């Protein structure tokens, strides 16, 4: 990104929250070396079934594409349930739901600043997921608190 920013010298740069970890890294880079650039976080763009838009989606069959919409459904399920139950149990239940359809790499609740794992508070938290469906890796995240 440094080379890109040096060559183009933009005043604005837009990054999607789908790749939230990347957004944090670029924000640090901008803060430390490119203070003239205003970095704008953009909400994740989604397909009608909730699947986060990605170039990888084109590798999914129609059936897989429909199944992949379950990722966002489970993220929203977690968001709705975690206030009534403890974090650990809700994470386990959400992972179990995902495991019915996907090979789950991770499902983790982390704080939005340092990306530390969260176990006891929802404040400034985000739920991150990476799954595989037919060897296609799909990622997503959603703000929780």
Asked if the structure places residue 119 within a domain, the reply is yes
Q: Compute the Cα dihedral for 17, 18, 21, 23 and give only its sign.
A: negative
133 and 77: one domain?
Answer: yes
Asked if the structure places residue 48 within a domain, the reply is no
Asked if the structure places residue 47 within a domain, the reply is no
38 and 79: one domain?
Answer: no
Can you tell me the distance from the alpha carbon of 44 to that of 127, in angstroms, rounded to the nearest whole number?
14
Asked if the structure places residue 32 within a domain, the reply is yes
Total count of domains within the chain: 2
Q: Which domain holds residue 115?
A: 55-143
pLDDT in tens, 97-145: 999 999 999 999 999 999 999 988 899 999 999 999 999 999 999 999 9
Q: What is the pTM of this model?
A: 0.92
CATH of the domain at 117: 3.30.1300.10
């Amino acid at each position: 990104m440094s080379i890109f920013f040096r060559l183009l010298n933009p005043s604005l740069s837009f990054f999607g929250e789908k790749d939230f970890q990347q957004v944090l890294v670029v924000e640090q880079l901008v803060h430390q070396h490119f203070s003239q650039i205003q970095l704008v976080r953009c909400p994740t763009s989604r397909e009608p079934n909730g699947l986060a838009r990605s170039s990888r989606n084109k590798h999914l069959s129609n059936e897989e594409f429909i199944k992949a919409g379950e990722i966002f459904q489970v993220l929203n399920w977690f968001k709705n349930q975690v206030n009534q139950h403890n974090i650990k149990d809700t994470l386990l239940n959400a992972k179990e739901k995902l495991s019915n359809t996907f090979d789950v790499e991770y499902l983790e609740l982390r704080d939005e600043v340092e990306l530390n794992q969260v176990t006891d508070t929802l404040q400034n938290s985000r739920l991150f997921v990476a799954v595989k469906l037919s060897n296609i890796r799909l990622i997503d995240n959603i703000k929780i608190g």
